Structures are given as C-alpha cells and as structure tokens.
Amino acid sequence: MYDVIILGSGPAGLTAALYAARANKKTIVLGGDKLGGQTAGIAVLENYPGWAGSGFELAQFMKNQAESFGATVEFVSVKNISGDAQSGFVVACDNGAEYVGRTVIIATGASPRKLEIEGAREFMGRGVSYCATCDGFFYSGKTVIVMGGGNSALNDALYLADLAKTVKIVYRKGAFTRAEAVLRERVAARDNIECLFNTDLAKIAAKPDSEDGELIVTTTDGAEMVVDGVFVAIGHEANTDFLTEDIKRDAMGRLAPDALPDGMFVAGDVHSDIKMQIATAVGTGCTAGMDAIAFLNKQQ
C-alpha cells in the first residue's frame, strides 16, 4: 500500500513526488512511456526560472531529486482506477501490474490534438509529425509546414528553421494573437520562415512519382503546396481517458479539483483553468502534493 500514487512524470508529477517523499510518505510515480511528458521534447527551455538547459535535462534533474528523498519512479501507463480512499485506490497499468494507494495525484498531462483531415492519419510518421524536436532532423535542407498559431507552433517553426530550407507557418487566423510577442518577433526576423495567414489545410496526399516522399498539401481554398513534411501544433487534449465517466471533465478533458473524489488530486496540464506552462505545472504539483500530505495526516 502506497501513501501517494502519482500518475505522470512531467514537472507536475515529479514536483508532487518531491513534496510527498520529503514528508516521509511512501510515494510512487507511474511515469507513462517516457520521462518528462511534453517537457522532454523542449530543446532549449527559456521560460522556466532558474533553468537554461533542455526540457529533458530538467525532467531528469527533478526525477533524481524526488528519488533522493525515497520516491520510486516506474515507466508504466495507467489503464483504469477503481476503489476509494477508504479501501484504497487500485491503479491498473498496461503491464498487468496493479498498485494500491491511499491517495492518487493525476498529473498525466496533455497530448497534441490530432489533425483530422484527409491523409493526416495515413501519413503520420511518414511526413506528418506532432513533435518538431523528435523528427526535425529528418527534414534538414527541406521544405516543411508548421500548422498552428500559438506558442508551440512558433517555437516549432523557429526550431525547424535552423534545420530546414524553408518553413511555412499555416494559420487559419489573420495574425498570431495567441503567441508571445518575443516569439512573433523572432519568427518575423527569420528569412526562411513564411507565414500564411487566413489559411487552413484540407488534404494531404503523396506527390506522384516522388522519390523523396514529397507531399502535396491542399488548402481549403484549393491551393496546392509541395512540401517534405507537415508539423502539427494545433492545441492539446488532456490525457484522462482512463477515468470513469462519472468524473466530470471540461471540453479539453481536463479536471477541476473540486470535482474529484476524496483522496484524489490533480496537477499540471490536466488541471482545468490554468495556463499550460511548466511554471504552473510545478505550482499545481506542489499544491497537490501538500494537499495529499494533509489528507493523509488527517486519516492518522
């Protein structure tokens, strides 16, 4: 029986683990399929105070810190949760193992929203990508599209601009109103980034007789572009499919703390009504960890 079971190994989950373990609570992190969640894919982390390395390096540092106080980290993914705080929450995982805990902190984060147009699924991994830092290397010297207009899309475009010959940002609105000013300025300063406003994609198809796997991308107004890759950054959806239907979620699948049963807490990007930033993830991780500690202490 664990005192605290934490779902997710991003900054929120690892912060909660640090607080719980330091309070001498038996703590385990079920970290999904990789350390760090979305943070791990950030090549250079600029907007987390006191850190100048990569996102993966930050996640590794946080993991080591939590483990130094006795937390355990295992890389398995949750399938479902049953039980309650009185009898114990039972967390069933994809490897067949079950973990029982007196409290559960949900910090499973969010995943990129998938592009739902013709060809998007067919060419996923063969020209369509949701991770610029993972796949950008394969498009060195080539032409790529970045779809989206928020911070993630502009960061992806800037990263790819150092590798690709040409980066075209396709955005359905007339300006990057959701992105930070510093990112808009950096994009505007890059000669190999072209911004296509008031534009949306309708179809992705293979270019006939192309030996290099080029794609033909068709916009909603019928225009066609020949590119080597399409990187999608159109928002996120919370990773909460493993929860039962009686647990209330918002339109993005995120959770409100007051909608959860006793002994269950939420932190990070899966938390409703917060900005999806590492700094806020850490803050909610701290809060969830301390709330779990207080809950356990009251049960003694």
- The CATH class of the 128-232 domain is alpha beta
**pTM, two decimal places:** 0.82
What percent of the chain clears pLDDT 70, i.e. is strictly above it? 100
Catalytic center residues: 131, 134-135
Band of pLDDT at residue 276, cut at 50, 70 and 90 = confident
CATH of domain 2-111+236-299: 3.50.50.60
CA atoms of 104 and 4, how far apart (whole Å): 6
Q: What is the pLDDT of residues 72-83, one digit of tens each?
A: 999 999 999 999
Task: Let me know how long the chain is.
Answer: 300
Classify the C-alpha dihedral 275-30-266-287 as positive or negative: negative
Q: What is the pLDDT of residues 108-156, one digit of tens each?
A: 999 888 999 999 999 998 999 998 988 999 999 999 999 999 999 999 9
Question: Where are the domain boundaries for CATH 3.50.50.60 in the chain?
Answer: 2-111+236-299, 128-232
Strand 143-147 and strand 229-232: the pairing is parallel
Higher pLDDT, 38 or 25: 25
